[in-house]
Amino acid sequence: MEIARAAHEISVRTLLMSFSPESDNPRMPEEIIASISSVDCIILVSKRSLTFSPDIVRAVKDGKRVASCPRVTKGMFVRALSVDLRGLSSDTRNVAERLTTSSEALIASGHNSEAFFEIRSRRAVYVDGLAREPSTMTIVPGGIVGIAPVEGSSYGELIINGSISHLGLLRRPIKVTIEGGEIVDISGGHDAKRLERLLKSYEDKNMYKIAEIGVGVHPLMRIRGNATEDESSRGTIVIGLGENVGHLGGNIVASDHVDLFLKSGSMFLDGRPLVINGELLVGDLYEKGRGR
């Protein structure tokens, strides 16, 4: 309602409609589908994700500009837009280009834990927070970059100490062991058991496969247990499991996609630092980091 009111105050003609989706990315009610054709821009504010609803995907193809705000709180929305959005877009594209042009990634998470990922010939995908042209979509808060590693190439150990998309904040770190591109062991306390139960509940062996590695770019986002914000948090490293056939362009078909968020970690691309102890190196910081 407040977004519609703000649009009205700057003389933008608005149409406010609502419905109650029971799952992520459902088909839209017929009356909403009919109304989509009469608008130029669509803002989606929802507790369930509508980003990849078939009707929204079609609307983007038909020339609409879309800003999707899944699980976004009022505070998150205000912080998301309280930055230099063009600067955020530039940094996000910069990180995506570096991932795309690299052959391998090394992620270190402390306690002598590190893991290797081959990303040769893979293209990073990104959400930069802007939808300025027809047929473009963004996700608020923006600042999201991910890439699908070559299937079967990942190995090593990582300490997950931030949050998990389906479980929220972690009270204690979780150690995951990766072999042949999939998680083969999960250890730790209560949260480790929660992750084990979550993955087991799918009854799908592909849910253990490494689907994505990524980095958050937005400077005003923090890990708070809300996946929409956590994956955008600047310097946060993301390890995705399961499905990656869709927008990530991978080859893993799975029941779902689960993100593990790692804070204060480091990422090196072809031996050059991208993130050091949770600090994202972009612009001048990257040039300084190349000498490390």
Question: 155-185: per-residue pLDDT in tens?
Answer: 999 999 999 999 999 999 999 999 999 999 9
178-199 pLDDT per residue, tens: 999 999 999 999 999 999 999 9
33: in domain: yes
66: in domain: yes
Same domain, 27 and 121: no
70-86 pLDDT per residue, tens: 888 889 999 999 999 99
| Lowest mean pLDDT segment, chosen from 38-47, 91-100, 113-122 | 38-47
24-36 pLDDT per residue, tens: 888 989 999 888 8
Last residue of a domain, one of 30, 45, 70: 70
271: in domain: yes
pLDDT above 70 as % of the chain: 95
The per-residue pLDDT for 285 is 46
Same domain, 167 and 33: no
Question: Nearest to residue 7, comparing CAs of 34, 35, 45?
Answer: 45
Same domain, 55 and 125: no
252: in domain: yes
Same domain, 100 and 214: yes
The answer to whether the beta carbons of residues 155 and 250 sit under 8 Å apart is no
Same domain, 134 and 227: yes
pLDDT tier at 287, thresholds 50, 70, 90 = very low
The per-residue pLDDT for 13 is 81
Same domain, 64 and 117: no
Mean pLDDT of the chain: 92
The answer to whether the beta carbons of residues 151 and 252 sit under 8 Å apart is yes
239: in domain: yes
Same domain, 53 and 90: no
Same domain, 135 and 222: yes
76: in domain: no
Last residue of a domain, one of 17, 37, 70: 70
pTM (whole model) above 0.85: yes
Last residue of a domain, one of 38, 70, 102: 70
The per-residue pLDDT for 283 is 65
**pLDDT > 60? residue 288:** no
78: in domain: no
98: in domain: yes
Same domain, 115 and 218: yes
Q: Which domain holds residue 104?
A: 85-289
The per-residue pLDDT for 292 is 46
The per-residue pLDDT for 1 is 59
Same domain, 16 and 130: no
Domain count, the chain: 2
Same domain, 60 and 117: no
Same domain, 183 and 239: yes
| Lowest mean pLDDT segment, chosen from 136-140, 157-161, 205-209, 238-242 | 136-140
pLDDT tier at 257, thresholds 50, 70, 90 = very high
